[in-house]
Amino acid sequence: MEWVKLTDRLPIFDDNLRVLIYTAEHDFNGEQFFDVRATDLYDGPDGESQSEVCAAATHWAERPSPCFYCGGDGEIETDNKGPIVPCPICSP
Ligand SMILES: [Zn+2]
């Protein structure tokens, strides 16, 4: 996984894209990883719309693909005949 400094480059501005972010030097219980929308890393028009974790993030990375949880199709089959539910990781 390639971690990119936020000061070097931002992910593409895409509401459907989710990325991992890393807070290295902040007090969210030390080093933490978060899963956020790529657009959350951009400042809003007022420059204050970033969440606290996004403002504290130092690096971001593209999420591993395919999704480790659903295999990348966005759906979880609960069992052979059960309902198919949206993946909680990669479905909004
Ligand atoms: Zn998934």
Whether 58 is covered by a domain: the verdict is yes
Whether 87 is covered by a domain: the verdict is no
Give the structural domain span for 20: 4-65
Residue 52, pLDDT score? 83
Query: Would you list the DSSP string of 18-65?
Result: EEEEEESSS-SSSSEEEEEEGGGGS--TTS--S-HHHHH--EEEEPPS
Whether 11 is covered by a domain: the verdict is yes
Q: What's the mean per-residue pLDDT of the chain?
A: 82
81 C-alpha to center of ligand 1: Å?
A: 20
Whether 83 is covered by a domain: the verdict is no
More confident residue, 46 or 90: 90
66 C-alpha to center of ligand 1: Å?
A: 8
Whether 85 is covered by a domain: the verdict is no
Number of domains present in the structure of the chain: 1
Residue 19, pLDDT score? 92
Return residues with CB closer than 5 A to ligand 1 (ion): 67, 69-70, 87, 89-90
- The yes-or-no verdict on residue 51 having pLDDT over 90 is no
51 C-alpha to center of ligand 1: Å?
A: 23
Whether 81 is covered by a domain: the verdict is no
Tell me the sheet residues that pair with 21. 34, 60
Residue 7, pLDDT score? 93
- The yes-or-no verdict on residue 63 having pLDDT over 70 is yes
pTM above 0.75, yes or no: no
In the predicted model, what is the mean pLDDT of residues 38-61? 81
Whether 44 is covered by a domain: the verdict is yes
